Amino acid sequence: MFPAPILEYFRPASVGEATRLLSGGAGENAHIIAGGQSLMQAIKSRLISPDALIDLQDIKALRSIHFDKNGLVIGAMTSYADIASDKRIPAAFAALCDAAGHVGDRQVRNRGTIGGSLCWNYIAACLPPTCLGLSATLELQNAAGRRRMVEARAFLKGPLETDRSSDELLIAIHLGPAAARTGSAYRKWGLVTDALPVVNICVSLEVGADHICREARVALGARSEGPTRVEAAELALRGVRKGDVRAIDAALDAAAEAADYQSDLWADAPYKKVLLRKIGREAVTVAFARASGEVGK
Amino acid sequence: MKRAITITVNGQEHEEMVENRLLLVDFLRDVINLTGTHVGCSFEGVCGACTVHLDGVPVKSCLMLAVQADGRSITTVEGLAKNGVLSILQQSFTEHHALQCGYCTSGILMNATEFLQSNPSPSEDEIRASLIGNICRCTGYVHIVAAIKTAAQRLAATRLEVAK
């Protein structure tokens, strides 16, 4: 399988250089390539045939995990492998490590990036619902140097659609600030281990010292309309005590109803609901454990 | 359309003019004639037969362009043996009969070589999880897992020797 001819290949060394290429310097049909683990499939199958590729691998500033006064900042070009293995990521954002640690396989995790996943926004992807469930804020920059902060909720539109303008570059993903005693978890189900998700869920819980959930965020992916937050499940989880399986299951029933799953080759809609309850219970349980400082895997 | 690139492969620099659309795996096989790296699934990037090291890290060479490897260092299966002596992992593969047709073997060797560097004493579950990106259609993995396990033990023994 061979890609169609690619007229130009650019490897900018800075964000400024990359955005200048995006805003016309690289021609009209230019495409950014981050880790390329989705894009190369699309290019090889000629689903897309870019005239120019803008490879971000040399922009070191985009590859970092650090903390600022609000919380965690992850550069858009940070690989899944680097996120999954970073021991500093706190319980509040541990869902990121769950998600990044089970994307594809080792080889894919070494190349694939969080920013690439968010900008591609494929239906069966792990990072979009995770960033949604963690209320991430995305930092974008254009050629004029204008920086713009967008909530994941506004950024992630329908499948393969985002709020990014064609002349903007995703710079970083910001997480936090998170309240004390917040824990999160991500779980998915696919046909084989670590496969593309057929059903997935990200749960983030703020829990009181009395082990009662104060605030909850629940996000689902693997839907034909793209990832979404599920307010019914979030409301149902508020006030629930850690270990109250019945109440947790009721919240997940609400999530399964709101998911609006479609039957496909991999699972029919009722089965997806069953799967969501199963992985959802695990995600909620682990999020509760992490919120109270227990090290949950 | 074409671009001059320099890629270091198994310690040797290669300067070539290549088309932008040339895949790294095709550069390795067809331009510099290192055919130990295989093409299995051809486009999805799920079989792992084309796994090589990019600056020491296993990646699928069918999911990147040769121009993306410009200025970087690649190791292929041909780079594992030193002076005609198989690596400890390769030796273990031959002893355990961890290959039958051998098609997937080079990719598995490249993945597992780095895996054992980052996780020197893996459990069987960890070994199996590390192989998710490499599809083998004939040995059934049992021998492959055994070979990696033995190699881990031998590498640990070698490190002990060196430490002494």
Contact B43 A41 (CB under 8 A): yes
Q: Please state, as a whole number, how many other Cβ atoms lie within 10 Å of the Cβ of residue B153.
A: 12
Residues 6+ apart with CB under 8 A from B163: none
Which residues in chain A (79-108) have CB-CB distances under 8 A to chain B? Answer: 81, 104-108
Q: Of A138, A164, A163, which is closest to residue A75 (Cα–Cα)?
A: A138
> What is the C-alpha to C-alpha distance for residues A234 and A264, in angstroms, rounded to an integer?
27
The reply to whether A8-55 and A60-175 are identical in fold is no
Domain segments of chain A as ranges: 8-55, 60-175, 182-291
Domain segments of chain B as ranges: 2-79, 88-163
CATH topology of domain A182-291: Enolase-like; domain 1 (3.30.390)
**In a mutagenesis test of the B interface, which of A31, A105, A107, A113 is the best target, namely the one with the most B β-carbons within 10 Å?**
A107
Per the CB < 8 A criterion, the answer to whether A164 and A152 are in contact is: no
Instruction: Spell out which residues of chain A touch residue B1, defining contact as CB-CB under 8 Å.
Output: 5-7
Instruction: Spell out which residues of chain A touch residue B54, defining contact as CB-CB under 8 Å.
Output: 110-111
Half-sphere exposure of B52 (CA within 13 A, CB side): 33
CATH topology of domain B88-163: DNA polymerase; domain 1 (1.10.150)
Nearest CA in chain B to A39: B63
Q: Which residues pair with A72 in a beta bridge?
A: A67, A175
- b/e code A197-232 from CB counts within 10 Å (16+ = b): bbbbbbbbbbbbeeeebbebbbbbbbbeebbbbbee
Residues 6+ apart with CB under 8 A from A121: A128, A156, A157, A159, A160, A161, A162, A226, A227
Taking one residue from A and the other from B, the number of pairs with CB-CB distance under 8 angstroms is 87
The residue written with tokens 């690596």 in the block is B87
Per-residue pLDDT for A296 more than 60?
no
Q: Which residues pair with A213 in a beta bridge?
A: A207
Model confidence band, residue B131 (pLDDT cutoffs 50, 70, 90): very high
- Give percent of chain B with pLDDT exceeding 90: 91
Mean pLDDT value of segment B82-95: 97
- In eight-state DSSP terms, residue A177 is -
Residues 6+ apart with CB under 8 A from A209: A181
- Give percent of chain A with pLDDT exceeding 70: 99
Name the 3-class secondary structure at A109: helix
Mean pLDDT of chain B: 96
Of the candidates A7, A57, A194, which has its C-beta nearest B68's C-beta? A57
Contact A9 B65 (CB under 8 A): yes
Residues 6+ apart with CB under 8 A from B128: B141, B145
Per-residue pLDDT for B164 more than 90?
no
> What is the C-alpha to C-alpha distance for residues A158 and A143, in angstroms, rounded to an integer?
26
Residues 6+ apart with CB under 8 A from A13: A58, A59
Structure token digits, residue B81: 């043996």
Q: For domain A60-175, which CATH number applies: 3.30.2320.80, 3.20.20.70, 3.40.50.300, 3.30.465.10?
A: 3.30.465.10
Contact B63 A111 (CB under 8 A): yes
Beta strand A147-151 with A182-189 is unpaired
Instruction: Spell out which residues of chain B touch residue A37, defining contact as CB-CB under 8 Å.
Output: 45, 63
pLDDT digits (tens, 9 = 90+) for A47-94: 999 999 999 999 999 999 999 999 999 999 999 999 999 999 999 999
> What is the C-alpha to C-alpha distance for residues A74 and A52, in angstroms, rounded to an integer?
27
Write the ipTM. Answer: 0.96
Q: For domain B2-79, which CATH number applies: 3.10.20.30, 3.40.50.1010, 3.10.150.10, 3.40.50.300?
A: 3.10.20.30
A47 interfaces chain B, CB cutoff of 8 Å: no
CA distance B58 to chain A (A): 5
Per-residue pLDDT for B90 more than 90?
yes
> What is the C-alpha to C-alpha distance for residues A209 and A192, in angstroms, rounded to an integer?
38
Instruction: Spell out which residues of chain A touch residue B23, defining contact as CB-CB under 8 Å.
Output: 2-3, 44
Q: For domain A8-55, which CATH number applies: 3.40.50.720, 3.30.9.40, 3.30.43.10, 3.40.50.2020?
A: 3.30.43.10
Q: Distances in Å between the alpha carbon of B27 and those of A76, B5, B22, B77?
A: 29, 11, 7, 15
Phi first, then psi: give them for residue A115, nearest 5 degrees.
Answer: -70, -40
Q: How far out from the chain centre does Cα B10 lie?
A: 12
Q: Which residues pair with B53 in a beta bridge?
A: B58, B75
Mean pLDDT value of segment A105-131: 98
CA distance B47 to chain A (A): 10
CA distance A138 to chain B (A): 26
Amino acid in the structure at residue B110: M
What would you report as the CA-atom Rg of chain A, rounded to the nearest whole angstrom? 19
Structure token digits, residue B58: 């296993």
Name the 3-class secondary structure at A34: coil
CA distance B134 to chain A (A): 9
> What is the C-alpha to C-alpha distance for residues B19 and A171, in angstroms, rounded to an integer?
30
Per the CB < 8 A criterion, the answer to whether A281 and A245 are in contact is: yes
Per-residue pLDDT for A1 more than 70?
no
Contacting A with CB below 8 Å, chain B residues are 1, 3, 19-21, 23, 42-45, 48, 51, 54, 57-60, 62-65, 67-68, 70, 111, 115, 129-130, 132-134
Per the CB < 8 A criterion, the answer to whether A217 and A186 are in contact is: no
- In eight-state DSSP terms, residue A79 is B
pLDDT digits (tens, 9 = 90+) for A176-196: 999 999 999 999 999 999 999
Structure token digits, residue A8: 């130009």
